[in-house]
């Protein structure tokens, strides 16, 4: 549970919000209208969470000077808001998916699913304390392990270490070499996949928020200016 705490927290939050939604539905004996107070509250809070999902993690990721929090913590927050926000927007819709509102909801579902794909790819990139390990660092570590293997073999030849002890250490070092080699391969593949994923996920996000702002503008217009 601790490993995916952001997912469990998101599920718990959605259950609590869903419980309140159910109680409101039972109390009024009808599905809360998107134009009502509770429906508006769900829509506003959900949209704010979605904006936070889109902006805060990206700002932290692109910041070269700020060090407010680890990237891994910001990713967890990104995942949490990226699940709870769309869920609240779904409840705000009153289960009506016609017109622009329906298109916004469809794009929201697609981008959430895309986010799960991105999270899977992200976890394939070797990391240390939330920061991406660079290929040069891995190659340097491999070179250091290789040098240590040669040093151990040299100590065996000079009689400073027994053959059994050298073989055990060399075997361990070669396993470490193989692990690092696999990490280099994973890093290359994951970066390529992330680049492809970004070309889909980012335009989807831009289209979603463009449609959402149009929907909000239209809702405000019809709710205020026409009365």
So what's the pLDDT on residue 129? 41
Three-class SS of 167-201:
HHHHHHHHHHHHHHHHHHHHHHHHHHHHHHHHHHH
| pLDDT at 206 > cutoff 80 | yes
pLDDT tens-digit profile of 15-44? 999 999 999 999 988 888 877 889 889 988
Q: Which of 218, 35, 209 is nearest to 107 (CA)?
A: 209
Residues near 137 by beta carbon (within 8 Å), at least 6 away in sequence: none
So what's the pLDDT on residue 132? 46
| pLDDT at 128 > cutoff 50 | no
| pLDDT at 8 > cutoff 50 | yes
Task: Summarize the confidence of residues 133-150 as an average pLDDT.
Answer: 60
pLDDT tens-digit profile of 56-70? 777 777 766 656 767
Degrees, nearest 5: CA angle 75-73-9: 80
Residues near 40 by beta carbon (within 8 Å), at least 6 away in sequence: 34, 92
* 127 burial type by CB count under 10 A (0-12 exposed, 13-18 middle, 19+ buried): middle
So what's the pLDDT on residue 23? 95
* 42 burial type by CB count under 10 A (0-12 exposed, 13-18 middle, 19+ buried): buried
pLDDT tens-digit profile of 45-54? 998 998 888 8
Mean pLDDT of the chain: 76
| pLDDT at 181 > cutoff 60 | yes
So what's the pLDDT on residue 227? 54
- Lowest-confidence region among 2-11, 110-119, 139-148, 160-169: 160-169
Task: Summarize the confidence of residues 113-120 as an average pLDDT.
Answer: 80
Three-class SS of the chain:
CCCCHHHHHHHHHHHHHHHHHHHHHHHHCCCCCCCCHHHHHHHHHHHHHHHHHHHHHHHHHHCCCCCCCCHHHHHHHHHHHHHHHHHHHHHHCCCCCCHHHHHHHHHHHHHHHHHHHHHHHHHCCCEECCEECCHHHHHHHHHHHHHHHHHHHHHHHCCCCCHHHHHHHHHHHHHHHHHHHHHHHHHHHHHHHHHHHHHHHHHHHHHHHHHHHHHHHHHHHHHHHCC
Which of the four pLDDT bands, split at 50, 70 and 90, describes residue 108? confident
Which of the four pLDDT bands, split at 50, 70 and 90, describes residue 130? very low
So what's the pLDDT on residue 9? 93
pTM for the structure as a whole: 0.66
Task: Summarize the confidence of residues 129-140 as an average pLDDT.
Answer: 51
Of residues 163 and 55, more confidently modeled: 55
pLDDT tens-digit profile of 192-202? 777 788 788 88
Residues near 157 by beta carbon (within 8 Å), at least 6 away in sequence: none
Question: CA-to-CA distance for 223 and 178, rounded, in angstroms?
Answer: 64
């Amino acid at each position: 549970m601790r490993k995916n705490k952001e997912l469990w927290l998101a599920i718990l939050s959605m259950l609590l919000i869903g419980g309140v939604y159910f109680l409101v539905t039972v109390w009024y004996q009808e599905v809360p209208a998107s134009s009502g107070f509770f429906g508006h509250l769900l829509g506003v809070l959900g949209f704010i969470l979605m904006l936070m999902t889109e902006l805060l993690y990206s700002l932290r990721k692109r910041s070269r000077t700020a060090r407010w929090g680890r990237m891994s913590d910001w990713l967890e927050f990104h995942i949490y808001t990226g699940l709870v926000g769309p869920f609240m927007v779904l409840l705000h819709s009153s289960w009506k998916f016609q017109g622009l509102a329906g298109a916004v909801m469809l794009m929201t579902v697609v981008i959430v699913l895309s986010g799960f794909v991105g999270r899977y790819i992200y976890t394939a990139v070797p990391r240390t304390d939330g920061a991406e390990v660079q290929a040069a660092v891995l190659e340097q570590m491999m070179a250091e392990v290789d040098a240590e293997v040669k040093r151990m073999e040299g100590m065996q030849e000079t009689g400073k270490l027994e053959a059994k002890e050298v073989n055990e250490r060399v075997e361990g070092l070669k396993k470490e070499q193989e692990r690092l080699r696999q990490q280099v391969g994973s890093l290359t593949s994951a970066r390529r996949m992330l680049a492809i994923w970004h070309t889909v996920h980012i335009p989807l996000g831009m289209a979603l928020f463009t449609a959402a702002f149009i929907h909000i503008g239209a809702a405000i217009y019809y709710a205020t200016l026409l009365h």
